[in-house]
Chains A and B, each alone.
Chain A
Amino acid sequence: MDTVKYLKQMTVIMAVSFIGEFLNRVLPLPVPGSVYGLVLMFLLLVTGLIRSEQVEDAGGFLVKIMPVLFIGPSVSLITVMGGLADRLVPILAVCILSTMAVMAVTGLTAQAVLKRRAGRERSGLRDEPEEREGAAGREEGGKREE
């Protein structure tokens, strides 16, 4: 029964969200409840206390519609525009340039670390070669999509 399945999955997701927000309230750290919840859900899945089939249908739907949640905050731009009109261009420039910097530094650092390890593996230290093959296969898949 689909109804029961979705109801169960939503219950699990809401329970984890509830515990996350609860931890945010009782622990004195500046960590949002959603992040506690994410970590908790991850731990529940890793330890096998929850199987991914028990949350993935409702969870997949929530992940897919996530951009809808940002419409409200995005539209709030019209409330702050007026007061910042004269400094809008530099503010936008900071946002855009630093986003490019973060993307470049993060991506290239990751790629450099991954390449170094791939090089080491090729030169004889093949401990777990099958996982790297999986990643290479995905790379090809990504190219075909484009």
Chain B
Amino acid sequence: MNEILQGNMYFGFFLALGTYWIGLKVQKKFPYTLCNPLLISTVLCIIVLLVFRIDYEVFDAGASHISYFLTPCTVCLAIPMYKQVRILKKNLAAILLSIVSGCLAAALSIWGLCALFGLDGSIYHSLQPKSVTTAIAIGVSEELGGSSALTIMAVVVTGMFGGIMARVLCRLFHIKDPIAVGLACGNSAHAMGTSKALEFGELEGAMSSLAVVVAGIVTVVLAPLFSGMIL
């Protein structure tokens, strides 16, 4: 199967878009949190690759081209943010305080849990930046001596878990204010949290996309400080 598909980058495109389209259809029919189109698409892609014994590289040859849109998409997050600029200014203290304390909670909990489970240094460094957007996370992980493949996995697991569970967790922790919900989503589950927050509403989405940016910058500063901590 690999030989037939080698060099045909449209296979990755087709599989990624097709499975996501199926995911959207399923979500429309069954509007549950677990019916996340990204999760459905990922599972379907993995099943297809495993069943037909296709290498990930063959799939990635096409799918990686879609990722070139990551920069323009991230740039466009400024638009929902701008529309809420008055509310942003009004809540500056809440935004900054909550994101800095959230990033500290991330650094401390990841350090504590890695020590508790006896995970070694390279895994710790790979997990450290997992709450921020993939592009920043990979840079931080490489800077600290982690593995970028593991970082991507941790970022994806974090994003999926945070995105899928956002509604349930906010209810569990009694986070009701739309501003607080948006900040919590963006700071914990980066871009995937933001796409979930946008489903809640434009204010939540704007807060979330702002949280992603601020959290990214705070993590760039904090992660090297915490990387030296002994496990």
Nearest 5 CB-CB pairs, A to B? A106-B102, A107-B184, A107-B175, A72-B63, A34-B74
Footprint of B on A, CB under 8 Å?
13-14, 16-17, 20-21, 30-35, 37-42, 45-46, 52, 55-56, 58-60, 62-80, 84, 87, 90-111, 113-114, 117, 128, 131, 134-135, 138-139, 141-142, 145
**Residues A113 and B93 in contact in the complex (CB < 8 Å), given A56-B79, A68-B66, A94-B127:** yes
Q: B66, A106: Cβ atoms under 8 Å?
A: no
Residue B173, interface by CB 8 Å: yes
Q: How many inter-chain contacts with C-beta < 8 Å in the A-B complex?
A: 327
**Residues A52 and B83 in contact in the complex (CB < 8 Å), given A21-B71, A93-B113:** yes
**0 or 1 for each of B33-59: is its CB under 8 Å from A? (1 = yes):** 000011001100110011000001001
* CB proximity of A34 to chain B, nearest CB, Å: 4
In the complex, what residues of A have CB within 8 A of residue B188's CB?
Answer: 99-100, 102-103, 106
In the complex, what residues of A have CB within 8 A of residue B134's CB?
Answer: 70, 73
Which residue of B has the minimal Cβ distance to A71? B16
In the complex, what residues of A have CB within 8 A of residue B77's CB?
Answer: 38, 63
**Residues A107 and B98 in contact in the complex (CB < 8 Å), given A34-B70, A75-B46, A77-B156:** yes
Q: B38, A70: Cβ atoms under 8 Å?
A: yes
Which residue of A has the minimal Cβ distance to B19? A71
Residue B64, interface by CB 8 Å: yes
Which residue of B has the minimal Cβ distance to A44? B78
**Residues A94 and B136 in contact in the complex (CB < 8 Å), given A77-B153, A102-B105, A107-B180:** no
A interface: dominant SS: helix
- Give chain B's interface residue range (CB within 8 Å of chain A): 35 or more
**Residues A55 and B79 in contact in the complex (CB < 8 Å), given A68-B20, A106-B211:** yes
Q: B67, A103: Cβ atoms under 8 Å?
A: no
> Among the listed B56, B93, B153, B192, which residue makes an inter-chain contact with A67, where contact means beta carbons less than 8 Å apart?
B192
Residue B72, interface by CB 8 Å: yes
> Among the listed A30, A72, A76, A107, which residue makes an inter-chain contact with B16, where contact means beta carbons less than 8 Å apart?
A72
Interface centre among B63, B73, B101, B119 (most CB of A within 10 A): B73
A63–B134 Cα gap in the complex (Å)? Answer: 16
Residue B5, interface by CB 8 Å: no
In the complex, what residues of A have CB within 8 A of residue B93's CB?
Answer: 113, 117
> Among the listed B101, B152, B178, which residue makes an inter-chain contact with A105, where contact means beta carbons less than 8 Å apart?
B101
Q: B127, A105: Cβ atoms under 8 Å?
A: no
* CB proximity of B103 to chain A, nearest CB, Å: 8
* CB proximity of B231 to chain A, nearest CB, Å: 12
Q: B162, A99: Cβ atoms under 8 Å?
A: yes
> Among the listed B67, B73, B110, B198, which residue makes an inter-chain contact with A94, where contact means beta carbons less than 8 Å apart?
B110
Which residue of A has the minimal Cβ distance to B184? A107
> Among the listed A42, A77, A93, A103, which residue makes an inter-chain contact with B82, where contact means beta carbons less than 8 Å apart?
A42
